[in-house]
Chains A and B, each alone.
Chain A
Amino acid sequence: MLHIVNKSPFEKNSLEQAISNSKDGSAILLIEDAVYAAKSSSSVAEMVKGALGQKTVHVLGPDFNARGFADEDVLEGVTIVDYSGFVDLVENNGTVQSWV
């Protein structure tokens, strides 16, 4: 299952909810303001790292870069995808849940 999060973790707790309610083996995709959670050093980095063992975490590159971050700023273990990769995630995971 794919979980899409689009809100900053500093604005809403939707990422926390997505991580705690998703099953192992799920994929989590960070888009729009949620990309702040994919930065290597932030106060939510530990929470994202904690999810990485059981789930895959992806960040939408164009949104990450649009907020001034370079690809090398990404948290280790988080995969950068473009819109084509976004489409692949939707295709390859059975259901899609957006945590808006």
Chain B
Amino acid sequence: MKFGILINEGPYQHQSSDSAYQFAKASIEKGHTIFRVFFYHDGVNNATNLTAPPTDDRNVTLRWTELAQEHDVDLVVCIAAALRRGILDESEAKRQNKANFNLADGFRISGLGQLIEAGIQCDRVVVFGD
């Protein structure tokens, strides 16, 4: 089956990013496809490459990046939610006249249409977060 995932909560906040990751991993292990993970609201904070958790702790952002690279998962960050919270890729940083950008590898910034498309393309969409 083709699954879509929506994450509305930031990393290390409660547990949703962890739950979503474990669900995605288990789905792939069972032969399902994760068509897209859409990060919305505070969920966009999963996509910053400036996090540096202790080395004996899980690295939430890196885990998503690796999942995307290994299994070709499309990680999409909502543009409006991201710009509000200081999550920028190179072109948005230029457009907003900011000195830096911080979007982690494997993520891309796009619009809500990508969430709607996931709803149309996927057999199931599972929501995680507050």
Residues of A within 8 A of B (CB): 4, 6, 31-33, 62-63, 82-84, 86-88, 90-91, 95-96, 98, 100
Q: What 6 new A-B contacts, CB under 8 Å, besides A63-B15, A86-B26, A87-B27? A: A83-B22, A83-B25, A95-B124, A96-B127, A98-B127, A100-B127
* Residue in B3, B14, B22, B129 whose CB lies within 8 Å of A90: B3
Residues of B within 8 A of A (CB): 1, 3, 8, 14-16, 19, 22-23, 25-27, 29-30, 32, 124-130
* A contact residues around B127 at 8 Å (CB): 4, 96, 98, 100
Q: How many A-B Cβ pairs are below 8 Å?
A: 54
Q: Is the CB–CB distance between B26 and A87 below 8 Å?
A: yes
Complex Cα gap A84–B25 (Å): 9
Q: Is the CB–CB distance between A96 and B125 below 8 Å?
A: yes
**Most chain-A Cβ atoms within 10 A of its Cβ — which of B8, B127, B129?**
B127
* Residue in A33, A87, A95, A100 whose CB lies within 8 Å of B23: A87
Q: Is the CB–CB distance between B129 and A4 below 8 Å?
A: no
* B contact residues around A91 at 8 Å (CB): 1, 32, 124
* A contact residues around B27 at 8 Å (CB): 87, 90
* Residue in A33, A63, A96 whose CB lies within 8 Å of B126: A96
**Most chain-B Cβ atoms within 10 A of its Cβ — which of A31, A33, A82?**
A31
Known: A33-B14, A90-B3. A4 touches B126 (CB 8 A): yes
